[in-house]
Structure 1
Amino acid sequence: MTLSDGLVQRKKTNNTTEYDDFSVNSHNPEEHTNLNDKFDKCWSMTLMEQIMLLGLKDFEGHTSFWNDYISPALRGCILVELCFRKRIRLAPNMGIRKKSLLRRHVELVDSRSTGEVLLDEALRHIKELSDLGEFHNTEYWVELLSGETWNPLRLKYQLKNLRERILKQLTEKGVLGTEKQSFVLFDVVTHPVADGSSKKALVSLLQSSLLSKWQNDLRRFDKRVLSLVYLAHSADVLDPVLDLLSDETYNLAMKHISKLLDVNFENEAVQEPEFEVMWAVFDVFSTR
């Protein structure tokens, strides 16, 4: 699902889930003054872990076999995380003729370790090519880290087994468990949700961001929350979160998402140059 896909018809369901108590169905700000207390567990996770947790089937312990969007979205998360940690930026837009976001290459700002294995691996790849005098745009890096290249010499820059490594990190944090499911010919290791409160808080965070805490001015949005909404939509893991809402609040949330999809990324990046990589990643997935 791309950012440009827009609204889709809602599938009606009468099923309830364990997240119903965390659905934000009221627009009264007084009822949500203590929401940040619930979100503490969200902030201990990276964007990659949050997207992976949203896409994970709670009891089966795996993502949908039909979801081809989550893998590139996870690579986008990595670039955004590196931007937030001030490790990369877009090359300055110099000269009279301004380049668009997707034509500007990614620059290394700081090669120091972030403390996150996956981020450091991506950072090493960016540094290696930078040291060779090679500079590439955001879209190229999403594809390269995903292994989407015809050049076999470039396959070494793919972040391999990314889903499994993120699941392992979530398991080490106590959010997921580990089980074995037996099939006819082989056994499969799965990671069902062990700490349901973490996912409940994440669902509540997304719902409140699109409803009670909605900001018409995107510059007032917390950039991590904004990235979570955009990248969850790109990874096709946002719909299950919205399906928990009542019809009225669902329609309001979809109206706000529609506004987000219509944003001019170039204009927003001009207003917030320190987040240009973030806006460039959003732009990448709006055209995929």
Structure 2
Amino acid sequence: MNRSEGLVQRKNVLTSSNDRTGTGSQDRSGPGIEDQKQLENDEEDVDAKETRLTLMEEVLLLGLKDKEGYTSFWNDCISSGLRGCILVELALRGRIELEKAGMRRRSVLMRKVLLKSDTPTGDVLLDEALKHIKETSPSETLQSWIEYLSGETWNPLKLRYQLRNVRERLAKNLVEKGLLTTEKQNFLLFDMTTHPLTDNTAKSKLVKKVQDAVLGRWVNDPHRMDKRLLSLIILAHASDVLENAFAPLTDDDYEVAMKRVRELLDLDMEAESMKPNAVETMWGVFAAFVK
């Protein structure tokens, strides 16, 4: 039984069950609130069996040339963008948080990153960054960590925090997940390991997800957007790879998509970080890249 047949059968069972129990007009017309939540959980369980990608892997996948298997030689933004992804990923997974703003309402970028949980994530890059944050005393600011992880610091004592070979390590992760393969290409003066796509399905789904977020499923409120998807859009832009997702669009759709991305980039990140249920670290990373 495929996914769609399973969900339809599940819905039919819930509907008939509610009709028999006679629990009100809402139940007679379809599954109730609790049953609807169960349906959504069923869908998530099915999705969990598919290949799950981290923010870093999704940004790299958007940046890779499908057949050539490498990112543009002219892209000097993706390196720091991937480090931003790592910090957001750690925040979304509940491993790090920002210190309290305090009475003086310090800038979100100037607040220190605190360890919330040192439980390993199972991802080598995330755990390496988490280890650095755990071992650092006193704590460093969010702006500092973006610089340290990228190696863009003038302090030689902080260079040990740099995450090295991030793109290559992410590409190897994607090879292990079956999305990329490994080849050697000759570039006249040197040989380079490349990682072409084995199958375009996963990337096509990713591109479609990004396009839908700013077109058909646009919600006009960043706090109603999925946090991971919002992060993907802004950090893909910061990494200069978002254009790749919009390239197949018609001229009209492209204009609408870019207009809505610009609306996200023009947000007051400080103000957004103070709204209820906001992940402050996420908004702080956004502020670092759009300031």
Q: Which amino acid aligns with 2:117?
A: D
How far 1:272 moved relative to its partner?
3.7
CA distance in 1 between partners of 2:153 and 2:258 (Å): 35
Deviations, residues 34-74 of structure 1 (Å, cap 9, x unaligned):
xx9x9879870000000000000111111011100000000
Q: Partner of 1:124: helix, strand, or coil?
A: helix
Residue 225 (str. 1) matches residue 232 (str. 2)? no
CA distance in 2 between partners of 1:146 and 1:69 (Å): 11
CA distance in 2 between partners of 1:217 and 1:123 (Å): 31
Deviations, residues 236-275 of structure 1 (Å, cap 9, x unaligned):
0011221211111111111211211111111211114550
Aligned to 1:141: 145
Q: Partner of 2:185: helix, strand, or coil?
A: strand
Aligned to 2:92: 84
- 237, 259, 262: which one aligns with 1:258: 262
User: Alignment identity in percent?
Assistant: 52
Cα distance, 1:284–1:41 mapped onto 2, change above 3 Å: farther
Cα distance, 1:185–1:257 mapped onto 2, change above 3 Å: closer
Q: Which amino acid aligns with 2:109?
A: L
Residue 56 (str. 1) matches residue 64 (str. 2)? yes
Instruction: Identify which of structures 1 and 2 has the higher relative contact order when contacts are C-alpha pairs closer than 8 Å and 6+ apart.
Output: 1
CA contact (8 A) 1:41 1:198 kept: no
Aligned to 1:237: 241
Q: How does 1:66-85 map to 2 (within 5 A)?
A: 66-85=74-93
Q: RMSD in angstroms over aligned alpha carbons?
A: 2.0
Aligned to 2:281: 277
- 173, 194, 199: which one aligns with 1:190: 194
CA distance in 1 between partners of 2:279 and 2:227 (Å): 9
Count of residue pairs the alignment pairs up: 248
How far 1:188 moved relative to its partner?
1.6
Aligned to 1:13: none
CA contact (8 A) 1:178 1:191 kept: yes
CA distance in 2 between partners of 1:237 and 1:108 (Å): 30
| Residue segments in structure 1 that go unaligned for 5+ positions in a row | 1-35
Q: Which amino acid aligns with 1:85?
A: R
CA distance in 1 between partners of 2:47 and 2:187 (Å): 37
- 106, 111, 114: which one aligns with 1:99: 106
Deviations, residues 4-58 of structure 1 (Å, cap 9, x unaligned):
xxxxxxxxxxxxxxxxxxxxxxxxxxxxxxxx9x987987000000000000011
- 161, 164, 174: which one aligns with 1:160: 164
Q: Partner of 2:198: helix, strand, or coil?
A: coil
Q: Partner of 1:107: helix, strand, or coil?
A: strand
Q: Which amino acid aligns with 1:135?
A: S
Cα distance, 1:193–1:211 mapped onto 2, change above 3 Å: same
How far 1:91 moved relative to its partner?
0.2
